Structures are given as structure tokens and as C-alpha cells.
Amino acid sequence: MNEGNYAIAYWDNGNEEHFKIFCVENHQTLLRIARRIVNDQQIAEEIVQDVYLEVWNKRSYFQPDKGKLSSWVNQITRNRAIDRIKKEQRHFKETVVEDRHLVDRELYIQEDFSNKEMICGALQSLKAEQQEVLKLIYIDGYSQAEVAAKKKIPLGTVKSRVRLGMRKLKEAIDLSQLELV
């Protein structure tokens, strides 16, 4: 057995003392890996604790012939840190989507917008599907991917409707008559 894999033989017998020694010896390395990815000491410490628990519970999955124990544990640490970042980003995105509905869009619409009639008329000249997609993206602030999910249509279809709708709008609106705000 490789010298780096010595501890796992004792772990298989449920010897927690050897596991504790391994944890103490590798704590700084795992903490450094997690901190480098998440950029937060407290979150990195939480990740390392989760890694210890996962390594202990999944010790029977380790295959010494496939690599070193430290490499296996380091990879688990990297994966947990990346998962944590993705989870935080997903949570942030959900919060932004929820907050978007709290914003009073009327505050951002200028009542004296003289181009409004011209643009509304041009929008009316579009097919209903193109109008709906353009309004969701440019007025409601959804991304193309969010529109695809919301309308249950392929992303490529959304992109095509946007491209064709914008082309028709440019043709319908005389840009020289628009008053820039």
C-alpha cells in the first residue's frame, strides 16, 4: 500500500483515532484549497468540516490503486467548495429575480416620452410571439434563457424571435425621427 494511503486501512476498521490524526495533519491543506476557491475563511472551515464527514462516511469508496488518499480528499474539497459557490450564485440569482418584482417599473418609465407611440406602433406590427418575447426581455428584464424556461420553448427559438423582432422593429422605426433622451 502506498505510504500516502496508510490511514485508510485503519479507517475501514472504524478506527476514528487514525482518522483524527489524518484530519489534523491535512487540515491546513484542505482549508487552503477551500479558502482559495470561496474566498471566505468561515465558509472554508464549514466546507472542510463537511469534507471530513463525507470522507469518513464514504471511506469504503476510496480505491488505493487509483491514486493517493490525499488526492482523493483534496478533490472532494475542491468539489464541495465549487458546489458552495454555485449554490451561493443560484441563491443570489433567485433573490434578484424575486426583488425584480418589487421594483415599481413606473418609476423608470418617462411619461413625456415622445417616442412611445412610435415604438408601440412598431411593436404592434410584430407577430404576437415576437412581441411577447421582446417585452419579457426588454421590459420585464428576463434573460433569453429565463424566457425559454418560462415559455417552455427552446432557447434557439427565443433567440430567433428576438433577432427577427429586432430586425422588424428597426425597419418599422425611422431612427432619424427618434428623440434621444
Among the listed residues 35, 138, 20, 137, the one whose alpha carbon sits nearest the alpha carbon of residue 80: 35
Domains in the chain: boundaries: 3-100, 106-177
Quote the CA–CA distance of 118 and 5 in Å, as a whole number. Answer: 73
DSSP state of 58: T
**Each residue's pLDDT tens digit, 136-162:** 877 777 888 889 999 999 989 999 998
Chain-centroid distance of CA 142 in Å reads 15
Fold of 106-177: Arc Repressor Mutant, subunit A (1.10.10)
pTM of the full structure: 0.47
Fold of 3-100: Rna Polymerase Sigma Factor; Chain: A (1.10.1740)
**Each residue's pLDDT tens digit, 60-72:** 888 878 888 888 8
